[in-house]
Amino acid sequence: MVNCGLVTEKNEPVPLKSISVEVRVQDHVATVSSTLQYVNEEERPLEALFVFPLPADAAVCHFSAKIGEQEIVAEVQERETARDQYDDAVSSGQQAFLLEESEESPDVFRLSVGCLSPGQSAAVTIIYVTELAVQADHSLRFCLPAVLNPRYTPAGLAAGIVSEISSGCGSVPYTLTLSVHVSSPKPISKLESSCTLDPLVFLHSDHTQATVNLSPGHMFDKDVELFVYYQDTHQPSAIVEAGVTTAPSGSLMRHPVVMISLYPEFPEEMTQGEFIFVMDRSGSMGYTRIESAKDTLLLLLKSLPMGCYFNIYGFGSEFESFYPKSVEYNQDTVDEALKRVKEMRSDMGGTEIFEPLKHIYSQPCYPDHPRQLFIFTDGEVENTKEVLDLVKHHAHSHRCFSFGIGEGASTALITGMAREGSGHAQFITGTDRMQPKVMQSLRFALQPAVVNISVDWTLPDGITVDTLSPPINMLYQGQRSIIYAHLKGESSGGSEGTVTFKYSLKDQPVTNQLHFCLKPTEETGLAIHRLAARTLIRSLEQKERDGGSKLESIRCRIVELSVQAGVSSVHTAFIAINKDCRQTVKGPLLQRRVPTRGTAYGFLSGPRSAQPQAPERAKPKSLPGRLHLSLFNNDCRISRSRRKDRSLRRINEAPIYCRDPIVASHQANSQDKQRDLLLQLVSLQKASGCWELDATLADVFGKTEDELTNQKPAQVDGSVWATLLALIWLYGCKIEQQVEWQFVAMKAASWIGSQKVGDLSQCVCVGNVLLGCHVTKETLGF
């Protein structure tokens, strides 16, 4: 195994000594401060590169470095300006630090550390703010990534630095300390973790503030996950944050910002609908992707409710549909569709999506069956705006759920179709499994449509509000919406504001109202302002990707917001220069690596560049004879400067498996076999929701047909017994994949309920013994 990261000429690691993390959770957001201590134990100055992951929606808002007793704090500047300053500083012997977001992947950052003297140590502090994701059990999840998982690199191209750093082995060579402070308008119920924690300590009797620490001795070889549980989860909440009095008048940072958290609860019910699945069958889909798509279509078809309508389209340079128009869902139509799904190939040429969409929209909708469009594609199209305009024009008659497959999928197309079609977008990359993400979207599609969404503000005289978040076009059970708004002016008396949230569900108006105090919350640290700025920046970045005539003004606005709020963006970087430290740098800086067992917190140092002048920039003030090896170029060519080397390839996360090749192979085969058993069971289910008692079903359970038949209770028939066993097996053996089979199970439970079976409890007990499970009758949904 080749060690990765930074090692000395004697193959000894240049260690990251320690990581200290402080997390402050406020309602639905977190501020994370990480301090990393490392040292140069080489005999020559180093320029190190440090690559690390962050949540995709995080906003880096502070970066500083302390060398000895001296601390230098970075400033946010336009990216190219910051790079030039960094190059000039390092070339002249000054210590400099450059922190920037990957141009292709916003969840990956890179830190360049210039001219760290022999024997010198440095403590780098990075602070970021992020929204916390809501989980299925209503908790909020915070994750501190321990690894930057191996990322996909297309065949024929050299692996990038991210893949190299993440493929090491051995023990983690540094320590981790973690402390968490939680505060919220709602009482805190509990806090759980995937790691061992010290006891939770409440700071107030109302349980609105608490602290907890990671227990000592934690080996940082896996992600640290924290789950925060609040009481009254679905009640809306608000946090008002004061602005900075020294900021320019009228600017975002000058005035208060309010964050409204909305997490509405809808009735758990499935609706009838028309489901149209549009599958990219262009040549770029290839064997692996099209096979995964076929498995996904199997799950989708088996999960649809009786009485709905469906159709399947395939497109490439041309398109075809299984049926001239959507057909009613029954056993015959499902059997025919699944037969044609098995025959699907990625053999239809290019990626032209406009015509099949146009054809679908020309078909009349079925009354009382809302149209739900599922679009799968792995490519980009040249007429993105035309496609989005088409979806928007028909937004009144359907919801659009879009899925981008692989790294080449156009974010503008995928997110745009979901946005214009009031649906939901998903990206399936690398070794991500398609089925869980698609079934999550199906859960949304089966919910009643929420329409006529409005947010209205009532504020005292003298106070005006500017909503910073994009309009809410969609609401789904289990999804939370966060609204940021800018409050300006001075109140003439009132100290309370009101936000009224209205929508219609199944033709019934629903109103939620939240009263909140306009007095700012103490000690927020500008987290709300910075996330509000990040929201605006992300919207502008999306407009920039969509193209248009105002790209330069959009870019200038992004830079202005980023610099003003002190948060990261694709067009800015954090730059810190220790101008008091000048030293002569002698000799080339050779490439070094550090073994970190897949850790993201790895270093890479590289020699400097002094090659012939490139046309796009002036020649840097580098020393003669010093070369920079570009590890960020796809072909690893010797590069003249850093300018084109800074971006990281958009490469996907993949799970970390055992590094032993024999064990790893066994794990992979075992997992594939288990997945095949699940798909085999699903494929055997009838459209009504039941299973038949036969040898193929018994084979899934590892039994014979006689074993199943001999244990069948006398009071139930074969189909009821088979369906009950299938449910027990799903809940007892496949609970970790429940998101994939939840609707299959709901149909089965509903079917059993319609059969008026006598003593189900005794049947469940016998089934548990037969299959070696421990599932209760209540768990099965009866």
Query: What average pLDDT score do residues 521-537 get?
Result: 86
Task: Note the pLDDT tens digit of each residue in 323-343.
Answer: 999 999 999 999 999 999 999
Q: Taking Cα atoms as reference points, which of 223, 170, 175, 177 lies closest to residue 593?
A: 170
Question: Alpha-carbon distance 103 to 28, whole Å?
Answer: 27
CB 574 within 8 A of CB 568: yes
Percentage of the chain exceeding pLDDT 70: 76
- Report if residue 546 sits inside a domain: no
- Report if residue 74 sits inside a domain: yes
- Report if residue 545 sits inside a domain: no
Helix then strand then coil, in percent of the chain rounded to 5, is 30, 30, 45
Task: Note the pLDDT tens digit of each residue in 449-482.
Answer: 788 889 999 999 889 999 999 888 777 777 788 8
Report residue 8's pLDDT band, with 50, 70 and 90 as the boundaries.
very low
Q: Give the CATH number, domain containing residue 176.
A: 2.60.40.1730
- 291 and 418 inside one domain: yes
Asked if residue 443 has pLDDT above 90, the reply is: no
Residue 768 has phi, psi (to 5 degrees) of -60, -45
Question: Alpha-carbon distance 224 to 344, whole Å?
Answer: 42
Task: Note the pLDDT tens digit of each residue in 113-149.
Answer: 666 777 778 788 889 998 887 876 788 888 877 644 3
- 457 and 525 inside one domain: yes
Query: pTM value?
Result: 0.68
Q: Give the CATH number, domain containing residue 287.
A: 3.40.50.410
- Report if residue 547 sits inside a domain: no
Q: Taking Cα atoms as reference points, which of 438, 419, 408 lies closest to residue 650?
A: 408
Domain final position from 445, 463, 487: 445
Higher pLDDT, 533 or 101: 533
- 433 and 310 inside one domain: yes
**Lowest model confidence (mean pLDDT) among 500-509, 629-638, 687-696:** 629-638
* Rg from Cα positions in the chain: 28
| Number of domains the chain is built from | 4
Domain span at 458: 237-267+450-538
Give, as one character, the DSSP assignment of residue 780.
G
- Report if residue 613 sits inside a domain: yes
Q: So what's the pLDDT on residue 107?
A: 64
Question: Alpha-carbon distance 577 to 411, whole Å?
Answer: 36
Question: Alpha-carbon distance 631 to 635, whole Å?
Answer: 8
Helix (H, G, I), strand (E, B) or coil at 606: coil
Mean pLDDT of the chain: 77
- 669 and 753 inside one domain: yes
Q: So what's the pLDDT on residue 82?
A: 92
Domain final position from 429, 445, 461: 445
- Report if residue 294 sits inside a domain: yes
Query: What average pLDDT score do residues 239-268 get?
Result: 87
Asked if residue 37 has pLDDT above 90, the reply is: no
Give, as one character, the DSSP assignment of residue 319.
E
Domain final position from 430, 445, 460: 445
Asked if residue 646 has pLDDT above 50, the reply is: no
Question: Alpha-carbon distance 130 to 400, whole Å?
Answer: 28
- 359 and 224 inside one domain: no
CB 755 within 8 A of CB 723: no
**Lowest model confidence (mean pLDDT) among 444-458, 511-525, 593-607:** 593-607
Question: Alpha-carbon distance 717 to 543, whole Å?
Answer: 60
Q: So what's the pLDDT on residue 360?
A: 96
Q: So what's the pLDDT on residue 56?
A: 60
Asked if residue 161 has pLDDT above 80, the reply is: no
- Report if residue 544 sits inside a domain: no
Q: Give the CATH number, domain containing residue 464.
A: 2.60.40
- 207 and 242 inside one domain: no
Higher pLDDT, 179 or 10: 179
Q: So what's the pLDDT on residue 606?
A: 35
* C-alpha distance across the termini of the chain, in Å: 53
Q: Look up residue 472 and give its amino acid.
A: I
Residue 364 Cα distances to 367, 371, 390, 392, 402, angstroms: 9, 10, 16, 17, 21
- 160 and 298 inside one domain: no
Task: Note the pLDDT tens digit of each residue in 691-746.
Answer: 999 999 999 999 999 999 999 998 889 999 999 999 999 999 999 889 899 999 99
Q: So what's the pLDDT on residue 91?
A: 83
Report residue 318's pLDDT band, with 50, 70 and 90 as the boundaries.
very high
- 595 and 716 inside one domain: no
- Report if residue 182 sits inside a domain: yes
- 388 and 282 inside one domain: yes
Higher pLDDT, 328 or 623: 328
Rounded to an integer, what is the distance from CA 670 to the centroid of its chain?
27
Residue 262 has phi, psi (to 5 degrees) of -115, 125
**Lowest model confidence (mean pLDDT) among 362-366, 432-436, 482-486:** 432-436
Asked if residue 625 has pLDDT above 70, the reply is: no
Q: So what's the pLDDT on residue 586?
A: 38
Q: So what's the pLDDT on residue 711?
A: 92
Asked if residue 605 has pLDDT above 80, the reply is: no
Question: Alpha-carbon distance 357 to 321, whole Å?
Answer: 11
- 81 and 95 inside one domain: yes
Report residue 51's pLDDT band, with 50, 70 and 90 as the boundaries.
low
Query: What average pLDDT score do residues 195-220 get?
Result: 86
Q: So what's the pLDDT on residue 275?
A: 96
Question: Alpha-carbon distance 167 to 747, whole Å?
Answer: 44
Question: Alpha-carbon distance 593 to 606, whole Å?
Answer: 10
Q: So what's the pLDDT on residue 148?
A: 42
- 684 and 564 inside one domain: no
Q: So what's the pLDDT on residue 378?
A: 86
CB 275 within 8 A of CB 310: yes
Question: Alpha-carbon distance 280 to 8, whole Å?
Answer: 49
Task: Note the pLDDT tens digit of each residue in 345-372.
Answer: 999 988 889 999 999 999 999 988 999 9
- 42 and 171 inside one domain: yes
Asked if residue 759 has pLDDT above 90, the reply is: no
Asked if residue 311 has pLDDT above 50, the reply is: yes
DSSP 169-198: -S---SEEEEEEEEE-SSPEEEEEESS-BP
Q: So what's the pLDDT on residue 220?
A: 65
